[in-house]
Amino acid sequence: MPFLVVISLYPSNPETITLGRIDGKPIKWYVLEKSNVWVKVIAKEALYRSAYDQRSNDYAKASIQKNLNAKIDIWFTHDEKNRIQKADYPAFSNEKNWQQADGGDRPHYWFSPIKYVSQDSNRAFRKIYSAYLTLPSIDDVDLLFDISKTASVLPIDYWLSTPYYSSTDKARIVSSDYQVYHRKVDTVLGIRPVMWVRAK
């Protein structure tokens, strides 16, 4: 009986919703967390590939942030867009721009395995920005890993919103080997959006 309880609390497949379309095909999203009428979701797959920016790992100003949010008018119907919340998200700061942070007391240092990557993330220097769509944070990918290890990785590497702390031109990525590394921001990698959606 206890074994059955564990299975129900830790399902191997995350809860999934469908919202939006790309090239006529529905987009599937994994549920990360729920809050009242809102559900935070992450795309099941990388929806396209892109560079993070040409030179900066400041996510609040990076070109990927603007380009990703432009997709809301392409992927979603009017009714679907009305369900997507423009929410506040944290953009971690690197060692060079921490003076602009709204909170935190240190850069974010990390261990590369996904299961440890968000350690002490609550202490990281951060700025707050508002967006409809965003790249996943280290906390998002850690949460997804806890829900389903296999769902947290993809066949291709994908970008996180998190900068590499000691650089201005490198950002964190999730690799298919269950590790979080960093790459130059002009590298073209997978884009796996996150958003808050009103539940039906």
Residues 6+ away with beta carbon under 8 Å from 83:
19, 197, 198, 200
CA pair distance 131, 85, nearest whole angstrom: 8
Question: Shortest CA distance to 141 belongs to which of 163, 113, 120?
Answer: 113
pLDDT tens for 130-154 read 899 999 998 899 999 999 999 999 9
192: tokens are: 């796996």
Query: Which pLDDT value is given to residue 39?
Result: 96
3-state SS, residue 23: coil
Look at residue 126 and tell me whether its pLDDT is greater than 70.
Answer: no
Query: What is the phi-psi region of residue 86: left when phi exceeds 0, alpha when psi lies from -120 to 50, beta otherwise?
Result: beta
More confident residue, 105 or 40: 40
pTM equals 0.86
CA pair distance 152, 45, nearest whole angstrom: 10
Residue carrying the six token digits 């900068």? 163
Mean pLDDT of 6-33: 82
Residue carrying the six token digits 């909170």? 103
Under DSSP, the state recorded for 164 is: P
Tell me what percent of the residues of the chain surpass a pLDDT of 70: 79
pLDDT tens for 148-179 read 999 999 999 999 998 887 778 999 999 999 99
Residues 6+ away with beta carbon under 8 Å from 192:
42, 43, 45, 46, 47, 135, 136, 154, 158, 159
